[in-house]
Amino acid sequence: MAASAARVVVVRERDGRGVDVAGVLVLGGCVLWSLVSATGREARPEGVLLAVLALTAGYACGRIAGSLLPVAAAVAAALVALGLALASGPGVPGATPVGSVPTGHTGAAAALLVLAAGAACCAAAAAGSRPARLLLRLLALAVAGAALALGSVAGFVASAGVLLCSLAAVRMRRRLLGLVGLALATGLVVGASWAVAEERLPEGLAASLEGQLTGHRVLLWQDAVALAEENPVLGVGPDRFGALSPTARETFAADGKPHSAPLQQAAEQGVPGVVLLGAAYGWLLWGLRSSPRPTAVVLTAGASLTALAALATVGNALSFTPVTACAGLLAGLATAGVAGAGPGTGGGGGGGGSTHPAD
């Protein structure tokens, strides 16, 4: 058993180094490509640069805080994200921009609530006592209730889903299977959004989805697809969608976003931009796969990040710095090694689930 535990530590340390190198390459690629696609145009790559900086800073802070105080840091992250969501109002980072049209878009407040619920559930999964776990899951339930109080149905559904996934993750012993399932779910949401924009779905299903998404947002998506088809490699340049989209130009006080991160990347940075966005999500899942934390913590964080990816696919949540920073923070907390943890412990407290090497 001691030899097996030592092998687990060695394998995960090697994987961890590979994850860090991949993260540098992926995030560096995002920065570089945004600059390339902006060259020679009246484009503004600052938004992409700020998002990458926020994600990196949040991830680094999460790794540091999670290695020292895994439970307390996760609780603090949950409270910060919840506070940002509750304090958000029109024009405040974390909410719908001033003057945005009623596109039914899923704003950053819902994303912050999802991340708050995920952090609370991660803290519960790592907590060492049953009363603490119960209290922290009640905090996650309170976050879902706050979403209803704020009128965010999407935030409530996503937060409640994260809580349910956290409860199910306690029983799971193979994290790889769970992470693959989360990745497939994200791919399904992205594919469905693209199919809606391309009008490839059956008429009845398309009408039902359009009713939920609103016709205005579908028109924005169609504009994004048209721009991507005209400029498949470089796109039209960062932050130029609003100026080139007929729907956005004809809409009073529009925010200039297509309300879909993958479609915005396709329109503004071409196919390579979409690939890099997917690579960033894949990097986060790979980091969770190699994490020394308990499997329940890993899958809970994965469920929260997947819910965020779904919200970003049908909204503009990733356009807000607090969201990307909190996402990086949660990912860092879920991949941090705990100082003083022995080999094979997974760095976790009790009740956190399995940490088997084959996970």
Q: Tens of pLDDT along 144-173?
A: 999 998 888 889 999 999 999 999 999 888
pLDDT at 100 over 80: no
pLDDT of residue 101: 38
Lowest mean pLDDT among 4-13, 44-53, 235-244, 291-300: 4-13
Whether 354 shows a pLDDT value over 60: the answer reads no
Write down the pLDDT at residue 200. Answer: 86
As a whole number of angstroms, the distance between CA 154 and CA 56 comes to 27
Extents of the domains making up the chain: 2-335
Distance CA 72, CA 304 (A): 18
The answer to whether residues 87 and 118 touch, using CB atoms and an 8 Å cutoff, is no
CB atoms inside a 10 Å sphere around CB 35: 14
**Average pLDDT of the residues of the chain:** 85
- Please give the Cα distance from 83 to 112 (Å, whole number): 9
Distance CA 205, CA 115 (A): 30
Residue given tokens 């809970």 in the structure block: 300
**Cα 131 from Cα 187, distance rounded (Å):** 37
**What's phi and psi for 353, nearest 5 deg?**
105, -175
- How much of the chain exceeds pLDDT 70, in percent? 84
**10 pLDDT more than 90:** no
119, 166 contact by CB (below 8 A):
no
Size (the chain), residues: 359
Q: Which residue has the higher pLDDT, 14 or 130?
A: 130
pLDDT tens for 223-235 read: 999 999 999 999 9
For 15-68, the pLDDT digits (tens) are 678 899 999 999 999 999 999 999 988 889 999 999 999 999 999 999 999 999
Under 8 Å CB-to-CB from 68, ≥6 apart: which residues? Answer: 339
Query: Contact at 8 Å (CB) between 325 and 55?
Result: yes
Cα gap 341→352, rounded to integer Å:
14
Q: What's at 208, amino acid-wise?
A: S
Q: 319 near 105, Cβ under 8 Å?
A: no
**DSSP 8-state assignment for residue 231:** S
Does residue 356 register a pLDDT over 80?
no
* Cα–Cα distance for residue pair 133/136, rounded to 1 Å: 5
Residue pLDDT, tens place only, 196-229? 998 888 888 888 887 888 888 999 999 999 999 9
pTM of the model: 0.88
Which 8-state DSSP code applies to residue 318? G
Question: Is-contact 78 116, C-beta < 8 A?
Answer: yes
Distance CA 68, CA 33 (A): 35
Residue entry with tokens 């390339």: 36
Q: Per-residue pLDDT for 343 more than 60?
A: no
Out of 14-23, 248-257, 313-322, the most confident range is 313-322
- Cα separation, 346 vs 78, in Å, equals 22
